[in-house]
Amino acid sequence: MPDNDSTFPWFRWYNEASNDKKIDSICDDLEIDYATVIGAWTLLLSAAACSPIRGSLYVTLQKRYSNAAVTKAMRCNSDLVQKLLQEFIDYGMIEVDENGGYRLTNFLKRQPPSDNSSPRVQKSREKNKYAVTKPLQGRYSNALDKDKDLNKDKENNNHFFVGEFLRISEIPGLGYEYHGKKLCELRDKYGEEKLLEFADWCKQKIFTIEDALKSAKTALPNWKSGIKEPVKPKKVYIDPDGNEVLR
């Protein structure tokens, strides 16, 4: 008999086995008890489940069970085994294949290959293993790369916005590191549309970025989209104590 190294460590057992008409008939034919017949049948199911040709009694893919091996598998004396086998054949529970081996007729129908989850589990484990063993450093690096890309996009957008503000307002260039960031802060607070309308309003009125930033502090809170003349900003002066004073 083969070693039980089957990828199926179990097989289905149906409730109807406790009251099977074919088993009852075999008991009547041989005048033996139900437990003996169902026990022998269960052992054949187990052997067929372990077989390299699932559902048939084979030791290897080429070598079928010998009579002695079948007798051992059923755990009965040889005379009873022969009688039981003939009954199982007569009732269509067992077939004899072209090699003379025994095949349990509806085994694969009643014990579908889909019951074996091992390939799916193995595939899932391999997938998860790859996900885990795929370097955490690599995944962390990917996240950093995405952050870098987002930061780069944001930086590009900021530069574009500042360039548009200067183009529309016709204010000479500025140092982006300070003035440009101040403009972007105002855009984030009041919205790009307001800032670009304010830039248009600054044209021919405001000539330095410093004055534009000061004017924005009073103009933008009262700004209404579509109105080109905001509340005229007061001039900002610094008093002796260093405080900003509007006049």
Which pTM value belongs to this model?
Answer: 0.47
Among 85, 115, 145, give the residue marking a domain's end: 115
Among 87, 115, 143, give the residue marking a domain's end: 115
One domain for residues 140 and 241: yes
Q: What is the pLDDT of residue 202?
A: 83
- Flag whether pLDDT at 122 surpasses 70: no
Is there a domain that residue 81 lies in?
yes
Q: What is the pLDDT of residue 81?
A: 96
One domain for residues 56 and 158: no
Is there a domain that residue 225 lies in?
yes
pLDDT tens, position by position, 8-41: 678 888 988 889 999 999 999 999 999 999 999 9
Q: Average per-residue pLDDT in the chain?
A: 79
Q: What is the pLDDT of residue 128?
A: 61
One domain for residues 235 and 152: yes
One domain for residues 110 and 188: no
Q: Encode 157-182: b = buried (16+ Cβ within 10 Å), e = exposed.
A: ebeebbeebbebbebeebeeeebbeb
pLDDT tens, position by position, 76-86: 999 999 999 99
One domain for residues 23 and 52: yes
Is there a domain that residue 35 lies in?
yes
The CATH number for 94's domain is 1.10.10
Residue 73 to residue 11: CA distance in whole angstroms? 16
Is there a domain that residue 124 lies in?
no
Q: What is the pLDDT of residue 167?
A: 77
pLDDT tens, position by position, 126-163: 666 555 555 555 555 565 666 666 677 777 777 777 77
One domain for residues 55 and 139: no
- Which residue spans within the chain are E strands per DSSP? 94-96, 102-104, 236-238, 244-246
- Flag whether pLDDT at 125 surpasses 70: no
One domain for residues 31 and 101: yes
One domain for residues 34 and 69: yes
Q: What is the pLDDT of residue 247?
A: 54
Is there a domain that residue 222 lies in?
yes
Share of the chain above pLDDT 70, in %: 70
One domain for residues 77 and 168: no
Share of the chain above pLDDT 90, in %: 33
- Flag whether pLDDT at 232 surpasses 70: no
Q: How many folded domains does the chain comprise? A: 2
Single-letter amino acid, residue 75: R
- 82 or 244: whose pLDDT is higher? 82
One domain for residues 93 and 145: no
Is there a domain that residue 42 lies in?
yes
Q: What is the pLDDT of residue 6?
A: 52
Is there a domain that residue 235 lies in?
yes
Q: What is the pLDDT of residue 192?
A: 83
**Domain assignment of residue 80, given as a range:** 15-115
- Flag whether pLDDT at 213 surpasses 90: no
Is there a domain that residue 9 lies in?
no
